[in-house]
Amino acid sequence: MSPDYYNLHHGEQVIRELIRMLQSTKIYAALADDLLLAEMKHNNPLAFETLYQRYVDMMYRTAFKRLQSKAAADDVVQEVFVNFYEKRHQLAADQHVKAYLFASLRNRILNEFRNHLIHEQHHANIAATQAQHNYLQLGIDGKTLEMKFRQVLEQMPVKCREVFELSRFEALPNKSIAERLGISVNTVEKHISKALAILRKELSSQELGMVAFIFMLYNN
């Protein structure tokens, strides 16, 4: 048998195999989720691939909308599908595939938020500890500073203090403060500027730095 005949025969086999796979893919794409899940339980890779292609884009858009990160969205979606495949034999035969995938995705997104908050809190705690150490090195005691800060607040005009506390303690924007107190935004800005001027006059730059840091932690 000549090499040319073998190569031609082999090429025809490859083409027939490709056609068979394409036809199989079209057939699987037309199957309902429950039938594909049944095939998955028999370790059929085409069934899993069909479900993956059916839902991956929809799930990615949902994850990205929540996480606002392409990398994080892609990670959680891939984790869901890996877990889905690994647990295929444990799923009930009548399991609603779409509901299962999106419930798993929701849980993964919540875990991502939780892990992010824990990470941020960890770094905030480290920063707070370091700042406290630095200010103690400068001879600034937290309780003493708090008492002094409260005394300065008490010396401020009533409306000025009220505006400042709403701005710094409740983290309200100037417009919200104006609406709550029935004054203009420009008046709010003037009160805040006056309060800051009083603080700069009564507190040292180191003390102001620590107060500003406390406000940053308080509002996070």
Q: What is the DSSP letter of 156?
A: S
Give the integer Cα–Cα distance in Å for 128 and 120. Answer: 12
At 96-111, the pLDDT tens digits run 999 999 999 999 988 8
> How many CB atoms are closer than 10 A to CB 29?
13
pLDDT, residue 52, reads 93
Percentage of residues in the chain with pLDDT exceeding 90? 30
For the chain, which residues make up each domain, given as ranges?
A: 31-119, 140-218
- Per the CB < 8 A criterion, the answer to whether 104 and 55 are in contact is no
Residue 213 pLDDT exceeds 90: no
The string of pLDDT tens digits covering residues 153-211 is 888 899 998 998 888 778 789 999 999 999 999 999 999 899 888 888 877 766 666 66
Q: Is 108 exposed, middle or buried (0-12, 13-18, 19+ CB in 10 A)?
A: buried
Q: How far apart are CA 165 and CA 134, in angstroms?
A: 26
- Proportion of the chain above pLDDT 70, given as a percent: 67
Residue 141 has pLDDT above 90, yes or no: no
Reported CATH class of domain 140-218 = mainly alpha
Q: Which residue type occupies 111?
A: N
- Residue 4 pLDDT greater than 50, yes or no: no
| pLDDT tops 60 at residue 89 | yes
Instruction: Work out the mean pLDDT of the chain and round it to a whole number.
Output: 77
What gap in Å lies between CA 68 and CA 185, rounded to an integer? 32
Cα dist. 86→1, 81, 188 in Å?
A: 47, 9, 59
Amino acid at 6: Y
Average pLDDT over residues 2-14: 49
Question: Looking at beta carbons, which pairs linking 52-59 to residues 24 or more positions away fall under 8 Å?
Answer: 52/81, 53/29, 54/29, 55/97, 55/98, 55/101, 56/81, 59/101, 59/102, 59/105
Distance CA 39, CA 42 (A): 5
Considering the four listed CATH numbers 3.40.50.300, 1.10.1740.10, 3.40.50.12780, 3.40.930.10, the one that applies to the domain covering 31-119 is 1.10.1740.10
Which position has the higher pLDDT, 167 or 8? 167
Is the pLDDT reported for residue 60 higher than 50? yes
